[in-house]
């Protein structure tokens, strides 16, 4: 057990709230500050962005006994449902029999976690904007406006879980030797909606993550508990087939009729949703260090914001908590050691998942429609089923295992080289599951 401390967590998002529960269980006094109103009092239809939870996220919830409660508000998704441009539909299992990622509504999940945190004794302070932090004394500066009066609140420790545009990180950036980079993607996104059938059932298979891969752009759909789907259109802001070109009803309807004809029947409010919903930006951010002495640490998106194409941002943030908690178990009251080891161990893994996530846009939007890629996946699955101890596909390493992301990335690259060799075999499409191919892979692995 650690000596009780007074700890502030800035940000009541998914990562901040779960971290607060962990810290409270360790016996600390935990105060969570958020500039936004309490999400439990904000009306939303349950349609807001959904996310997928996979092994790493579940592990953090399991360790504190919250997994069952959260599983009840999710939908298992065990495959990709790929809607090809020629109208055909194929499915591709994500992992082995029984392995699934879970589709969860971000809003419902966040509300639930704040309830659970409050029940465990965490105190929340909403509508409280943190403008600055004094690093050396872990003092927060809270106020209505940036130029107005601020109140100072001193803590023993501060965690910055205030997201990609973290104000806490902003203060750290003003120190020498602090590395920081931020990049906005040329691709943005917009949410659309597939409503439920009148009897509350889903219009398309709820246990698939639906993708309409179209090369430079794609549409994605994830099921909600109320029978609806939240779809996300990812597309460049400018150029051919871009948001810039879809300025009026006529061009929008023509675009969907050309590229996503099978959605016309299931997205009845396309025009209204498209012009009402914002076009959102995607940002990636890297920084280092993540901690200041034994006083302050960044966690979640505040430390590593990545693009969403591997469904790992929140999972990686939850894994930060698992690692931090392990280190607390190891080093007790030595917070300096805990923080140093935390940033050292997490940084390479955060960089690796950032890289994997970016590469995955191409995999989802283009490769899932590519015959060679589909064949590669088929061979990998077949070989992995035969030799599970010799071959775990990259997607499974990232999604269904706890292997550090950096290792998964390195092994994934090695496996991909082997697969490129295998794909060069003559008639590979016909003999992909032959003894010859099996021996070839076994040889190459050596």
Ligand X SMILES: Cc1cc2nc3c(=O)[nH]c(=O)nc-3n(C[C@H](O)[C@H](O)[C@H](O)COP(=O)(O)OP(=O)(O)OC[C@H]3O[C@@H](n4cnc5c(N)ncnc54)[C@H](O)[C@@H]3O)c2cc1C
| Beta carbon of residue 107, minimum distance to ligand X (angstroms, whole number) | 11
Applying CB under 6 A, which of residues 7, 9, 20, 52 lies at the interface with ligand X?
Answer: 52
Q: Is 65 exposed, middle or buried (0-12, 13-18, 19+ CB in 10 A)?
A: exposed
The residue to which tokens 């419902």 are assigned = 108
Helix axes 313-331, 55-62, angle to 10 degrees: 40
List the structure tokens of 266.
């299931």
Q: Which stretch binds ligand X (CB under 6 A): 70-78, 261-269, 306-314, 366-374?
A: 306-314
Cα angle 250, 256, 258 (rounded to 5 degrees) comes to: 100
Task: Name the CA dihedral angle for 161, 167, 173, 175, rounded to a multiple of 10 degrees.
Answer: -100
| Beta carbon of residue 12, minimum distance to ligand X (angstroms, whole number) | 5
Applying CB under 6 A, which of residues 208, 223, 228, 315 lies at the interface with ligand X?
Answer: 315
Q: Is 49 in the site for ligand X (CB under 6 A)?
A: yes
Q: Is 188 in the site for ligand X (CB under 6 A)?
A: no
Applying CB under 6 A, which of residues 31, 167, 210, 346 lies at the interface with ligand X?
Answer: 167
Q: Which stretch binds ligand X (CB under 6 A): 81-89, 298-306, 384-392, 412-420?
A: 298-306
C-alpha to C-alpha distance for 144 and 129, rounded to whole angstroms: 6
Contacts of 189 (CB under 8 A, 6+ apart): 232, 233, 234, 235, 279, 280, 282
Q: Is 360 in the site for ligand X (CB under 6 A)?
A: no
C-alpha to C-alpha distance for 415 and 400, rounded to whole angstroms: 17
Nearer to ligand X, 55 or 129 (CB): 129
Say if strands 283-288 and 229-236 run parallel, antiparallel, or are unpaired: unpaired
Applying CB under 6 A, which of residues 20, 208, 296, 301 lies at the interface with ligand X?
Answer: 301
Q: Is 313 in the site for ligand X (CB under 6 A)?
A: yes
Q: Which stretch binds ligand X (CB under 6 A): 255-263, 308-316, 345-353, 413-421?
A: 308-316
| Beta carbon of residue 235, minimum distance to ligand X (angstroms, whole number) | 13
Q: Which of 212, 210, 185, 214 is nearest to 366 (CA)?
A: 214
Q: Is 130 in the site for ligand X (CB under 6 A)?
A: yes
C-alpha to C-alpha distance for 185 and 274, rounded to whole angstroms: 20
Q: Is 11 in the site for ligand X (CB under 6 A)?
A: yes
Q: Is 74 in the site for ligand X (CB under 6 A)?
A: no
Contact set with ligand X (CB under 6 A): 10-16, 33-36, 49, 51-52, 129-130, 161-163, 167, 189, 300-302, 308, 311-315, 317
């Amino acid at each position: 057990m650690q000596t009780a401390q007074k700890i502030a967590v800035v940000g009541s998002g998914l990562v901040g709230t779960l971290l607060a529960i962990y810290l409270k269980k360790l016996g600390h006094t935990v105060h969570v500050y958020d500039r936004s109103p309490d999400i439990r009092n904000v009306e939303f239809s349950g349609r807001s962005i959904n996310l997928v939870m996979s092994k790493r996220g579940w592990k953090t919830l399991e360790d504190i006994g919250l997994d069952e409660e959260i599983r009840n508000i999710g939908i298992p998704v065990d495959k990709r449902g790929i809607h090809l441009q020629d109208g055909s539909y194929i499915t591709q299992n994500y992992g082995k029999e029984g392995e699934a990622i879970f589709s969860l509504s971000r809003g419902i999940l966040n509300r639930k976690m704040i309830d659970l945190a409050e029940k465990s004794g965490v105190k929340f302070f909403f509508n409280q904007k943190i403008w600055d932090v004094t690093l050396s004394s872990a003092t927060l500066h809270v106020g209505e406006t940036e130029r107005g009066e601020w109140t100072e609140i001193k803590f023993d420790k501060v965690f910055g879980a205030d997201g990609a545009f973290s104000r806490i990180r902003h203060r750290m950036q003003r120190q020498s030797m602090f590395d920081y980079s931020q990049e906005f993607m040329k691709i943005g996104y917009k949410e659309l909606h597939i409503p439920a059938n009148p009897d509350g059932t889903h219009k398309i298979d709820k246990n698939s993550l639906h993708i309409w891969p179209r090369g430079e752009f794609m549409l994605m759909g994830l099921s909600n508990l109320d029978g609806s789907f939240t779809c996300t259109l990812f597309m460049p802001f400018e150029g051919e087939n871009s948001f810039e070109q879809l300025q009026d009803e006529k061009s929008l309807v023509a675009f969907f009729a050309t590229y996503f004809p099978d959605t016309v029947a299931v997205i009845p409010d396309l025009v209204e949703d498209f012009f009402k919903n914002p076009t959102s930006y995607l940002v990636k951010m890297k920084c280092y260090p993540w901690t200041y002495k034994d006083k302050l640490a960044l966690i979640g998106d505040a430390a590593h914001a990545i693009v969403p194409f591997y469904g790992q941002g929140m999972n990686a943030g939850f894994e930060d908590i698992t690692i931090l908690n392990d280190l607390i178990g190891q080093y007790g009251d030595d917070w300096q050691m805990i923080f140093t080891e935390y940033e050292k161990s997490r940084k390479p893994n955060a960089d690796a998942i950032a890289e994997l996530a970016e590469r995955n846009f191409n995999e989802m939007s283009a490769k899932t429609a590519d015959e060679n890629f589909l064949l590669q996946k088929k061979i990998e699955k077949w070989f992995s089923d035969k030799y599970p101890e010799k071959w775990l596909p990259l997607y499974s390493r990232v999604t269904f295992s706890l292997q550090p992301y950096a290792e998964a990335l390195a092994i994934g690259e090695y496996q991909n080289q082997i697969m490129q060799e295998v794909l060069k075999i003559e008639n590979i499409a016909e003999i992909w599951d032959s003894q010859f191919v099996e021996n070839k892979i076994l040889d190459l692995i050596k």
